[in-house]
Amino acid sequence: MIGKGLAGVRTWQCAVLCLGLVSGIATQAAADCPGHPDALGTSRTLVVDPREHLRIGTMQYAETLPLEDHEVVLTFDDGPLGHNSKQVLEILAAQCVKATFFAIGRMAKENPEGVRKLRDAGHSIGTHSQNHPLTFNKMPAEQAKKEIDDGIASVTAALGDSTAPAPFFRIPGLLRAGGVEQYLESKGIQTWSADFPADDWRRISSSRVYELAINRLEAKGKGILLLHDIQARTVAALPRILHELKARGYRIVHVVPASPELPATPTEPQQWQLHPPSENVAISHWPKIPNFVFAATAPLPAPALSDSYWHDDWPIPVAGTSDRGKRRGVPLPLQAPWPRQAPPLPERAAIALPAPSASVFQMQDRLRFALTRAPRSAEPAIAAGPRRVADGAKPAGAGASPRAVAGKPNLGRVHRASASHAARHATQAGGRPPKRLVQVKKRNV
Ligand SMILES: [Zn+2]
């Protein structure tokens, strides 16, 4: 599955060893940078096994390189290209910084010397496809495979000493696709995204590239920085970036692939997360819901009538007629609990109801007195209500006003007179005016 990839790792690693760059694998302090006592330097070399962690870079994936806080990995894409790539190499050399370059196959064919300079300087060399098409997310699988394979072949040819590039691949434009990642996995190649870019491919100033690189690094505290060695603005920003990294206490980590001769740096799985949870913080890790795998999904046969427990033809167990309940110790009811039978009503039940007492219909003396002493002139109005009066009927004996004669009876005057009259008599009889009576009459108007 990964034979070709492993072969590449071995030859790549052999080239490193033969070139006497083993010292680069050990920790290289800034003090080891000849002629540059204030150099940033490369703090350590991280050896990774691509087969254990196939995709890295939190811009797109769950995992990233197992870096400590304030550790940075520098990566440069799309080269090598003449003057700019050469200047980037010189800047890095002045700081004794080791980086990872993702070379394009076509660029390697046009500038093989530039690829060899990368190798001679001790940098890691990954690949970035043959022609850098920005269609990896939708191109046919065979075309993607050819782009990947041709790019590796071109860089290998540029190296010219049977060594192969590192099994690191960055998809052009980070346009990832599942099929591409699976193909890379089958070849034992690690897919590199990044943790933060500096947007140096955009038409922005070198100062802006510097700001984005530093600010985004500060936001994450560590990670993989994506740059392009073919851009003039990157060349202009790089010295300031490296100087600021040192000033802020960041350290450069050089990444190389593992091989049978060079085992991977021991790491814990959580170290491959950008911000792994601290084990000093209590977190509940509840077991996940098990994913049940059913042995068979065929539907069960429908139950037959003979399978049911209740049968209509079964005799209803009644206490005393069956010993089934007794034998099982279950007390059986004397009667079926449902439906309940209501007791029959006695004949002529209405007669049995109590007759209302005569006191229910008694009228209080004050009220009876007030009604019986009300003047006759008010009675027709009270009894007939407003409707008869409104019809124009003249109350018998009433002192009709001129308006009543003209068809508009003065109702308020008639009732006020009768109400005040009744109230006066009631006050004389009981000492208190019958307020209820006055209210009743007003309501009838
Ligand atoms: Zn690119």
pLDDT tens digit string along 425-434? 444 444 454 4
pLDDT in tens, 8-30: 333 444 344 333 343 344 444 44
Greater pLDDT, 211 or 293: 211
Structure tokens at 372: 């019986």
Q: Are 125 and 155 in contact (CB under 8 A)?
A: yes
Cis peptide before 339 (omega within 30 of 0): yes
Is pLDDT of 121 > 60? yes
pLDDT band at 240 (very low <50, low <70, confident <90, very high): very high
Tokens of 306: 């003979």
Per residue in 51-91, pLDDT (tens digit) is 999 999 999 999 999 999 999 999 999 999 989 999 999 99
* pLDDT of 394: 41
Q: How would residue 309 be classed by pLDDT, with cut points 50, 70 and 90?
A: low
Q: Is 0.75 surpassed by the pTM of this model?
A: no
Is residue 15 assigned to a domain? no
Q: Give the residue-averaged pLDDT of 311-338.
A: 52
Q: What does the pLDDT average to over 374-389?
A: 45
Q: Report CA-CA distances (Å) from 253 to 36, 99, 123, 256, 358.
A: 18, 8, 11, 10, 110
Q: Which CATH number covers residue 62?
A: 3.20.20.370
Q: What is the pLDDT of residue 350?
A: 57
Distance 94 CA to ligand 1 centre (A): 25
Q: Is 240 inside a domain boundary? A: yes
List of residues 6+ apart from 244 with CB closer than 8 A = 210, 214
> Mean pLDDT score of the chain, rounded to an integer?
77
Ligand 1 mean position to 128 CA, how many Å? 7
Residue 410 lies in a domain: no
Quote the ligand 1 centre to 17 CA distance (angstroms). Answer: 29
- Predicted local confidence at residue 338, as pLDDT: 63
Q: What's the gap in Å between 174 CA and the centre of ligand 1?
A: 8
For residue 59, report the distance from its CA to the centre of ligand 1, in Å: 15
Q: Does the residue 365 lie in any domain?
A: no
Ligand 1 centroid from CA 226, angstroms? 10
Lowest pLDDT segment from 150-154, 373-377, 397-401 = 397-401
pLDDT of residue 70: 98
More confident residue, 338 or 221: 221
pLDDT at res. 356: 74
For residue 49, what are the domain limits? 24-257
pLDDT at 239 over 80: yes
Angle between helices 365-372 and 411-430 (to 10 degrees): 130
CA of 161 to the centre of ligand 1 (A): 26
390 or 171: which leads in pLDDT: 171
Residue 311 to residues 301, 346, 430, Cα–Cα distance (Å): 20, 39, 81
Q: Is residue 155 part of a domain?
A: yes
**pLDDT surpasses 90 at 389:** no
The tokens for 244 are 């600021």
pLDDT score, position 45: 98
Asked whether residue 60 is domain-assigned, the answer is yes
Residues making up the chain, counted from first to last: 445
Q: Cα–Cα distance between 229 and 193 in angstroms, integer? A: 17
Whether 339 shows a pLDDT value over 60: the answer reads yes
Whether 28 is in a domain gets the answer: yes
HSE-CB of 246 using CA atoms within 13 angstroms: 17
pLDDT band (50, 70, 90) for residue 247: very high
Measured in Å, residue 173 CA sits from the centre of ligand 1 at 6
Q: How far does residue 147's CA lie from ligand 1's centre (Å)?
A: 13
How many domains would you assign to the chain? 1
pLDDT-based confidence at residue 248 (cuts at 50, 70, 90) = very high
Classify residue 322: in a domain, yes or no.
no
Which pLDDT band, with edges at 50, 70 and 90, does 307 fall under? low
Measured in angstroms, how far is the CA atom of residue 167 from the centroid of ligand 1?
17
Find the 205 Cα to ligand 1 centroid distance in Å.
Answer: 19
How far lies 247's CA from each of 38, 173, 241, in Å?
11, 31, 10
What was the pLDDT predicted at 245? 98
